[in-house]
Structure 1
Amino acid sequence: MLYQDAFLARLEAGVRGALPAWGVGADAAVRLLTISENATYLVDDGGRRLVVRVHRPDYHTAAEIASELAWISSLRETGTIETPRPIPGLDGTLLRHFDDGGARRHVVAFEFMAGKEPDASDDLPRWYRELGAISARLHRHARGFAPPDGFVRKAWTFDTIVGDGAYWGDWRAGLGLRDDGRALLQRTADRLAAETAAYGAGPDRFGLVHCDMRPANLLVEGDRLGVIDFDDCGFSWFVYDFAAAVSFQEHEPYIPELIDAWTSGYRSVAPLSAEDEAAIPMFVMLRRLQLTAWIASHAETPTAEAMGPAYTDGTLALAERYLSARP
């Protein structure tokens, strides 16, 4: 239960104290936008708006955050993707810090990007077709990207997604999960371990990805689809980007339509093999298991509170269907 009121009050005070480093008055309007891994604030200084992200304690190192910003800068410079510019401080540095009772909090500021997230009331296949094209451009850039010295990002493998080294906690702690459910999910995890190993992680299938292009990190304005929040970018399977893009909606009946739209958009830019497309349901199930753990380990976040034990129940239903389709 990290993000309780007292902690959030300290973070807002830290953000206000850091604002002069970007040439913003400490009396600017500061509003909490989201809590997920990080706490993100909208700052309005008389018409100039920026988004300030305070990083979750003990999640990313300073080197990892600097590497994220380096990739964002390269993506912007090459025109690969529309994403907000990281804003340097008056001293030219992108990554800043403030003291929180002796603990160092990492802080980054970005340009404000207007728009709304696409939802089920929109033409979702249209936007997932565009997202497929964006993903293909991003992956093409990643394959040719020459990381700067010291570049380091997390690797999202089976072990770090749902295995013993999982970054987001143990799926066995899923909210409301009982012994029979754990047994079912263990069979599912065992199957996924074998299937991901058979699929492999060669350079044609595994590389630098965004890893969180879900609707909450997409901004629609007119015909533009912007992508924000590269906080989870790292090394994983390229088609895992689709699984991440349907986070928290994996159970919806329209997912096959979104797969068709995403793969169509992807192929409008770059090749996608039939084997890669066939692997998408495997990665969707893997992501669902990962998010079942995330909800339990991030129970204080609004997303986790909205999902609750019902999400675990949905995971069990998906796991039953997944295994029955693969006898």
Structure 2
Amino acid sequence: MDENRTELPMATLVGRALQALFHWGLADQTPELLKFRENAVFRVRLAGGAPAALRLHRPGYHDDRALASELQWMTALKAGGLHVPAPVPTLDGRDLVTLPATSTFASQHADIVSWMHGEELGRSGEPLRQAPERLTEIFGQLGEAMAELHNISDRWSPPASFVRPAWDFDGLLGENPFWGRFWDSPGLELGAARRLAALRPLLAERLRAAERLGLDYGLIHADLVRENVLVGAGHVELIDFDDAGYGWRMFDIATTLLRNRREAHFDLIQGALIAGYRRRRSLSDASLETLPLFLLLRSLTYIGWIGSRPATPDAQERQARYLTEALEIADELLHIPC
């Protein structure tokens, strides 16, 4: 989510990457830093010269069980026909390694996943550049891929050790939501905090009512924003499963649509995504009626997220933007006075 971080000297970060690459027998190269967000991600070369992605995971965000579970699920999705990365095992057959703490780094986990060759769908805050016809095609493919992700996940039997976070009632509206207490986020003005706190009981009532509809629930990607969708030849590729876990399937749909609300062709994008999804998986009209609720819930998570990362560049500006968007959705889509 956050912008590339540059507090560490590049040589220091590359040195940490080389510590990880030793486990794959690949430490005879200079890894290329691609992004430093929740994780530091490098482009590396495998023994045969093919590119791959080395990930140094953010210390303390997910433990080794959750990260191993992510890789197991990605393997199942790839085996099911989705265009997603798959783990590359170490010399001794492990998918995940633990790097010891040093004077500079806390103990952290690392893995290598296969390279995806598509082009980013777009960047947050920048208008999509594709023509309307192409947007219809891409978001139709994305809807199909999302539905297949849900289909494959429902057919898959996770191992007993499988553990991932939950974007359930407590994960969204409980006392300690997965991405933080949005109504109690550091930096919020008192008036804004009160308005957000007032939303919680209203949203809790609406979410409980939605639960009683028997909404589709299971494993979801939970972060299919445009940076995590790569456009290939006749298909889309899905990357960055860092926040994937259990949740309502409408939350997956809402996550994709939220970041496109300002697009000139938003109606076309939404229509194509839903039509593509319905080509591969059932989605009732009653479920679709909960979309405004999940758009609002999703928007609130970003307030909690930025509040727990005050060192993120432009944190105050982002918080203000996320707050404005959430209150707009509350008013315009749910007609909740606040």
Same fold per superposition (TM over 0.5): yes
5+ residue gaps, structure 2: 123-127
Deviates more, 1:57-66 or 1:257-266: 257-266
- What amino acid is the match of 1:31? E
Query: What secondary structure is seen at the aligned counterpart in 1 of 2:55?
Result: strand
* Distance of 2:246 and 2:158 partners within structure 1: 12
Which residue number in structure 2 is paired with residue 196 of structure 1? Answer: 207
Which residue number in structure 1 is paired with residue 113 of structure 2? Answer: 110
Query: Is the contact between residue 3 and residue 300 of structure 1 (CA under 8 Å) also seen in structure 2?
Result: no
Which residue number in structure 2 is paired with residue 277 of structure 1? Answer: 288
Partner deviation per Cα, 1:92-124 (whole Å, 9 max, x = no partner): 110012123274211011111122211311243
Query: Is the contact between residue 30 and residue 43 of structure 1 (CA under 8 Å) also seen in structure 2?
Result: yes
Which residue number in structure 1 is paired with residue 125 of structure 2? Answer: none
* Distance of 1:182 and 1:253 partners within structure 2: 31
Q: How does 1:95-174 map to 2 (within 5 A)?
A: 95-101=96-102, 103-119=106-122, 120-122=128-130, 123-174=134-185
Partner deviation per Cα, 1:241-278 (whole Å, 9 max, x = no partner): 11222354445564443322211111111211111111
- What amino acid is the match of 1:60? H
* Distance of 2:173 and 2:36 partners within structure 1: 22
1:183 positional shift: 2.7
Query: Is the contact between residue 201 and residue 237 of structure 1 (CA under 8 Å) also seen in structure 2?
Result: no
Q: 1:69 aligns with which of 68, 71, 78?
A: 71
1:285 positional shift: 0.8
Query: What secondary structure is seen at the aligned counterpart in 2 of 1:165?
Result: coil
1:126 positional shift: 2.7
Q: Structure 1 residues 159 and 220, CA, compared in 2 at 3 Å: closer, same or farther?
A: same
Q: How does 1:1-327 map to 2 (within 5 A)?
A: 5-6=7-8, 10-26=12-28, 28-44=29-45, 47-79=49-81, 81-101=82-102, 103-119=106-122, 120-122=128-130, 123-174=134-185, 177-200=188-211, 205-250=216-261, 252=263, 254-301=265-312, 307-324=318-335
* Distance of 1:202 and 1:90 partners within structure 2: 49
5+ residue gaps, structure 1: none
- What amino acid is the match of 1:66? A
* Distance of 1:178 and 1:317 partners within structure 2: 17
Q: Structure 1 residues 204 and 76, CA, compared in 2 at 3 Å: closer, same or farther?
A: same
Query: Is the contact between residue 43 and residue 52 of structure 2 (CA under 8 Å) also seen in structure 1?
Result: yes
Partner deviation per Cα, 1:75-104 (whole Å, 9 max, x = no partner): 11121x111221111111100121232742
Deviates more, 1:292-301 or 1:168-177: 168-177
Tell which has more relative contact order, 1 or 2 (C-alpha 8 A, sep 6+): 1
Q: TM-score, normalised by structure 2?
A: 0.86
| Percent of residue pairs bearing the same amino acid type | 31
Q: Structure 1 residues 320 and 233, CA, compared in 2 at 3 Å: closer, same or farther?
A: same
* Distance of 2:239 and 2:182 partners within structure 1: 27
Q: Structure 1 residues 182 and 276, CA, compared in 2 at 3 Å: closer, same or farther?
A: same
Deviates more, 1:109-118 or 1:307-316: 307-316
Q: Structure 1 residues 66 and 265, CA, compared in 2 at 3 Å: closer, same or farther?
A: same
Query: Is the contact between residue 88 and residue 94 of structure 1 (CA under 8 Å) also seen in structure 2?
Result: yes
Q: Give the root-mean-square deviation of aligned CA atoms.
A: 2.9
* Distance of 1:277 and 1:8 partners within structure 2: 46
Partner deviation per Cα, 1:219-250 (whole Å, 9 max, x = no partner): 11232210111111111001111122235444
Query: Is the contact between residue 171 and residue 292 of structure 1 (CA under 8 Å) also seen in structure 2?
Result: yes
Query: What secondary structure is seen at the aligned counterpart in 1 of 2:43?
Result: strand
Q: TM-score, normalised by structure 1?
A: 0.88
1:128 positional shift: 1.8
